[in-house]
Amino acid sequence: AESKPKDNVVPEIGATFESLRDHLSAETMLGIEGFGFSELTEVQQKTIPLLLSGRDVRGTAKTGSGKTLAFLIPAIEKIKDCTTGLSCIVLSPTRELALQTYCVVKALTKYHSNINTAIVIGGNKIENEKRPALQANLLVATPGRLLDHLKHTKGFKTNKLKVLIVDEADRMLDEGFEKELHQILQRLPKGKRQSVLFSATVTSQLSRMTVLTLNDSYDDINLTAHATASPTADGLTQTYLPCPTFQRLLVLHKILTENKDSKVMVFVNTCDGVNFYKKLLNQLNLTVHGIHGRQGQQIRSKLFSEFCSAYKGVLLCTDIAARGWDIPAINLILQFDPPSDVNEYIHRVGRCVRREGETGKAVMLLRPEEMPLLDVLKKKNVTLTEYQDIDMYALDFDVQTKADGLVSTDSGLQTMGIAAYRNFLTAYSVLQPRHIYDNRTIPTKELAKNFGLDTPPQFNFSRLPLNYVARDEKRSPKPASQRKLSKKKNKKLKSKQEKFVSVSGRINSSRGGGGGGDSLSKEEKKNQKKKFIKERRKQRRDERMLAEKSNESAGAPTEDTKPSTKYSGDEDTSEKKKKKTKKRKSTDDSTADVTDAVPTKKIKKDNDVKIDQEKVKETEIAAKKSHKRKAKAIATE
């Protein structure tokens, strides 16, 4: 990577937004005043001067610390005089985070009449986005949709790009955007642009993103590196609740009932889990909403905006809502399913207490076997206390009876429960660390009751996700194609492969071939098959002709020696023909007497037939040998 000179002057600023007035335009200051903020947060105070000086920056700070304004204010100030062409791109891992960032962009650029802004995200029609994207100076995008425009939208150019910002950078690689990011970065100008990465946690993914995006001389602002600093907000009360598996549904119902007048987010690990509990809890007289990644963009956007504007309510969600969502006035975060790792826990609880002076609670349900997770969190400076606002001995067990009755009578709800049960186990198998989240410790009968099921549905633990780490091994189990087979299975497999090679002309790599058959195109394989079929038909015709000639030379054929219309591989003395000959009537006595009267002629005819049959066999053997040679020649081509 090209190193950027560090001779740019870094402005000195104070602890308030007013201290930025000498370094920002009047239009930008008016936009900032619209938010009503007076004091800068720590991450803003340390990163804004560096970004104004044009340096590459990697910023890491806890959720709710004002990272969005920290990277947008310098970016807008840098592109304020760029009237044509795309000058700034802000990448977000999720659509909701992109929408949220775009709202902040609109507010900051309200008084900049020459800056055009646009947003391009998945779920919207790409045709409707083309015109705004072509006119934009500042573009907020998700990686997949940005790559679509770079590839397919005519006139979409990035040669004037000055600033690239990647928000929630560690999440980008978690979401599987690595290939897209490589392709995007290849299409962006190198050396000219200023690159910025922001995240709430320091992970291996963030280090990889740094190598991909930033120059060698970047400045690293890490506000989570202090040994005693907590990565979560100060006003957040973090608690855990020991809960046996069979009581999980009862505890969920109890907590939501007691917090009816609060704004609550409940985290569930799977989309099917969100759908099931949403329907079940609504039938149990609790009003809840659900949001997850399999919903359409319009539904997700509507639910997101409605929940943001509401002063109370319950939102069931997957980890799609764990990153960057700025939902105001959240009172309680309930982690019904455990987080995938420690960093995910930090992001989940970060949805609460987004502003200074706010307070909130976070509750995490833990089975007795999962209690060691508290020690892992302690190492990350996250300390939890036991949740005391619920009496585990005063749970309403009638709720379980009602849930069982609803699931047993509603076939749709039962199907959803079975899917949620299976996906819970599948998701549980990839949680980290593995010594805490162990499938073997889950009582499946008790777990089934969480979904209103009397008996646990069948679940094949051997069919787990590819990133599942085997419980008793350090490496993942080998795929079926690489496992050692028994001798009998190997013999059967070899015989099948040989047959396949003789028919299709492929050479199997396990027999020492070069894998040439697999490298052929579909048309070449079709032509090989056609050639083989033609050769086979020719061979059958030759065999039939030889059989007919031999019979003609032997005289008029009797019923038993009549040539068959089938090729020589089919025997004339088949079971069906034997049955037919048995049913036929015996010949007259007179004909029998005639044949007995001339035995010498019959002997001569029999000898001639034998000689002809030997000749036929020789010709058949020669024909088969030539056919095998031709088949091998076709196979090696």
**What pLDDT is stored for residue 234 in this prediction?**
79
Say how far apart CA 613 and CA 573 lie, in whole Å.
15
Among residues 285, 251, 280, 257, the alpha carbon closest in space to that of 394 is found at 251
Determine contact, residues 364/335, Cβ cutoff 8 Å.
Answer: yes
Cβ–Cβ contacts within 10 Å for residue 548, how many?
A: 12
Vertex 30 angle, CA 117 and 101, to 5°: 40
Confidence at residue 362, expressed as pLDDT on a 0 to 100 scale: 94
Half-sphere exposure of 549 (CA within 13 A, CB side): 12
Three-point CA angle 100, 32, 231, nearest 5°? 55
Cα 531–chain centre separation: 43
Residue 202 predicted with pLDDT over 90: no
Q: Which residues contact 213 (CB under 8 A, 6 or more apart)?
A: 164, 166, 169, 185, 195, 197
Residue 470 has pLDDT above 50, yes or no: no
Residues whose CB falls within 8 Å of the CB of residue 446, separated by 6 or more in sequence, listed in order: 244, 245, 246
pLDDT at 529: 79
| Range from 110-119, 170-179, 254-263, 401-410 carrying the lowest mean pLDDT | 170-179
**Averaged over 568-584, what is the pLDDT?**
48
pTM of the predicted protein model: 0.60
Q: Which of 130-134, 369-373, 505-509 has the lowest mean pLDDT?
A: 505-509
Q: In which residue are the tokens 């709430």 written?
A: 200
- pLDDT tens-digit series, residues 306-334: 998 898 999 999 988 887 677 888 999 99
Whether 360 shows a pLDDT value over 80: the answer reads yes
Structure tokens that stand for 273 in this block: 């889990």
Structure tokens at 361: 């609670």
Residues 6+ apart with CB under 8 A from 38: 16, 17, 18
Averaged pLDDT, 419-445: 90
Q: What is the mean pLDDT of residues 338-359?
A: 83
Residue 415 confidence (pLDDT) above 50: yes
* Residue 567 or residue 217, greater confidence: 217
Cα–Cα distance measured from residue 308 to residue 7, given in angstroms and rounded to the nearest whole number: 44
Task: Return the minimum-mean-pLDDT range out of 81-85, 88-92, 218-222.
Answer: 81-85
Helix (H) or strand (E) holding 266: strand 263-267
Peptide bond into 433 cis (omega under 30): yes
Q: Which domains does the chain have, with CATH numbers?
A: 17-222 (3.40.50.300), 236-450 (3.40.50.300), 487-519 (no CATH)
CA distance 320 to 137: 28
- Distance (Å) of CA 297 to CA 121, 125, 454: 9, 11, 36
Span between the terminal Cα atoms of the chain, in Å: 48
The span from the CA of 328 to the CA of 351, in Å, is: 9
Phi-psi region of 363 (alpha: psi -120 to 50; beta: other; left: phi over 0): beta
Mean pLDDT of 368-393: 90
Q: What's residue 226's pLDDT?
A: 60
Residue 450's pLDDT is what?
A: 94
pLDDT grade, residue 555 (50/70/90)?
low
Contact of 293 with 244, CB cutoff 8 Å = no
Q: In one letter, which amino acid is 614? A: E
**Long-range CB contacts (within 8 A, 24+) of 36-45:** 37/69, 39/15, 40/13, 40/14, 40/15, 40/16, 40/66, 41/65, 41/66, 41/70, 42/223, 43/67, 43/70, 43/221, 43/223, 44/69, 44/70, 45/13, 45/15
| pLDDT(180) > 90 | no
> Which residue matches tokens 């001067």?
49
DSSP letter assigned to residue 607: H
- pLDDT tens-digit profile of 46-70? 999 999 998 999 988 877 778 899 9
Pair 136, 118: CB distance under 8 Å:
yes
Order of strands across the sheet with 263-267? 289-291, 313-317, 263-267, 332-335, 360-366, 236-242, 385-386
Residue 211: per-residue pLDDT: 80
**Structure tokens belonging to residue 455:** 């008996």
Matching residue, tokens 């779920």: 123
**Per-residue pLDDT, 257:** 94
pLDDT at 483 over 70: no
**Does residue 325 contact residue 168 with C-beta atoms inside 8 Å?**
no
**DSSP-assigned states of every residue in 418-478:** HHHHHHHHHHHTT-S-TTTS-GGG--HHHHHHHTT-SSPPP--TTS--TTPPPTT-SSPPP
- Residues whose CB is less than 8 angstroms from the CB of residue 22 and which lie 6 or more positions away in sequence, other chains included: 11
